[in-house]
């Protein structure tokens, strides 16, 4: 088991909040993806964010 998997729920909630704070402070650098969606939708959202950042069209 990885070290982070052994950490309690509160630790993970604090880490999540830290990442959300960074994303709010740096919207030009960070994108929030809702990973609770279907895997295909998560993949499409990631690809859309990457394509937007790169100004390109990846498959």
Residue with tokens 């604090």: 14
By residue range, what is the domain housing residue 10? 3-54
Instruction: Kindly state whether residue 59 falls inside one of the protein's structural domains.
Output: no
Q: What is the pLDDT of residue 35?
A: 95
- Quote the pTM value: 0.73
Count of domains forming the chain: 1
Q: What is the pLDDT of residue 1?
A: 62
Q: What is the pLDDT of residue 55?
A: 86
Q: What is the pLDDT of residue 5?
A: 84
Q: Mean pLDDT by 10-residue block, N- to C-terminus, for the chain (59 residues)?
A: 85 96 96 97 96 81
Could you tell me which of 56, 34, 29, 28 has the C-alpha nearest to residue 46?
Answer: 34
Q: What is the pLDDT of residue 13?
A: 95
């Amino acid at each position: 088991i990885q070290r982070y998997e052994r950490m309690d729920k509160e630790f993970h909630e604090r880490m999540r909040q830290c990442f959300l704070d960074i994303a709010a402070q740096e919207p030009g650098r960070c994108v929030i993806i809702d990973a609770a969606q279907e895997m295909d939708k998560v993949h499409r959202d990631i690809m859309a964010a990457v394509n937007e950042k790169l100004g390109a069209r990846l498959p």
